[in-house]
Amino acid sequence: MAALEFQSSFKNINQKEWNDLTKSNPFLRLEFFQSLEASKSIGEGTGWQPFPVTVTDQGRLVGASPIFLKEHSYGEYVFDWSWAEAYQKYGKNYYPKIVSSIPFTPATGPRIFGLDQSIKKYIVMQLEDLAYKNKMSSIHILFCDERERDMHEDSRWMPREGVQFKWQNKHYNNFEEFLSQLSHDKRKKIKQERKKIKDLGFEIKKIKGPEITETDLDFFYACYCNTYQEHHSHPYLTRDFFSLIRESMPENLLLVLAYEGDLPIAGSFFIYDDKKLYGRYWGSKSFYPGLHFELSYYQGQEFCIENKISIFEGGAQGEHKMARGFEPFNTFSFHRIFDEKFEHAIKDFLKREKNGIDQYTNELNERVPYKTELNI
């Protein structure tokens, strides 16, 4: 009989067995979660309390899910602040809630793992039982793979959709071939933006994980913090986190730096595998027109072409990505609300929201940047 446990940490989980089970994207590697925890980016005092699920059979890991007890809704990118406020007005505590997600990372992928479907459904049932017994408001499974819908059909889990922008590498041989597929105005704009950066004389270097130095990370982290400060916010990740993932999963890291002479002036940080590139963080010492687009988008697209990577996920939000060749894709999450009256209110809200998302997606699809018979 398989044994399910809720762990209080990612520390003592068998790394090989977890990674063999969750093999999909780099954010689900145990090293990623362990680096978050060891760097104190999650854990005590952060509002992200690790509570991963493990299922073992004869001492071997056969099921798992990255679970967190959340004291707030920061760093999730599927926004339920209005739900929390309404729940409080309703006279009940919305927090803590249960969340299955990748902290601070709106990257799509599976969230419930098992050697077969019965193990996955067992995990979901035990999550519901835990929340119900402890009188918790809700469970949220965020940015999950669309195929995980099967686990929630004919149940009280409510689906929620969103929109992200992704770039598809359609077997391009070089960046010029990609440009040739865009409409004339988009192609012209990108060429102008890249020419401005070239005319400024900046040198741009793509540095893969094993070659990234601590000095590089010091500079990048200063830029990362500066970006948050400019948006009147606080960085989620500590400096130690970047050193820890450089040590534990260097083959998944890419740092792109821009130099003025010998001095770095801006940087973008990416995580990747052989299928996808994920744009994560950007920052600069001062403002240079077009440099953000060059480091965060065009360099990433070139890297995908050079390394035959199929998909470039640009992260949350940003319609401006469409002008750089990105296209809209739906994201999925599932929510379980335990108060029946509040559940009905959320269900009604999600129905209205879905109509809006469908309309928004249709409008975006009419503005795709690629050639049509009318805009060649």
Q: What is the pLDDT of residue 374?
A: 44
Q: What is the pLDDT of residue 273?
A: 96
Distances (CA, A) of 31 to 244, 267, 296: 9, 24, 25
pLDDT tens-place string over residues 273-312: 999 999 989 999 888 889 999 999 999 999 999 999 999 9
pLDDT tens-place string over residues 257-266: 999 999 999 9
Q: Is 279 helix (H, G, I), strand (E, B) or coil?
A: strand
Q: Which residues pair with 99 in a beta bridge?
A: 68, 140
pLDDT tens-place string over residues 1-58: 689 999 999 999 999 999 999 987 899 999 999 999 999 999 999 999 999 999 999 9
Q: What is the pLDDT of residue 287?
A: 87
Q: What share of the chain is helix, strand, coil (3-state, %, to 5)?
A: 40, 25, 35
Eight-state DSSP code of residue 68 = E
Sign of CA pseudo-dihedral 169, 173, 174, 175? negative
Contact 331, 298 (CB under 8 A): no
Eight-state DSSP code of residue 149 = G
Contact 86, 150 (CB under 8 A): no
Q: What is the pLDDT of residue 318?
A: 80
Distances (CA, A) of 39 to 42, 107, 217, 239: 8, 21, 15, 8
Number of H helices, E strands in the chain: 11, 15
- Alpha carbons 188 and 191: distance in angstroms, whole number: 5
Q: What is the pLDDT of residue 149?
A: 75
Amino acid at position 321, single letter: K
Q: What is the pLDDT of residue 369?
A: 85
Q: Which residue has the tokens 């040590």?
A: 247
- Alpha carbons 218 and 307: distance in angstroms, whole number: 27
Amino acid at position 115, single letter: L
List of the chain residues with pLDDT < 50: 373-374
- Alpha carbons 287 and 265: distance in angstroms, whole number: 9
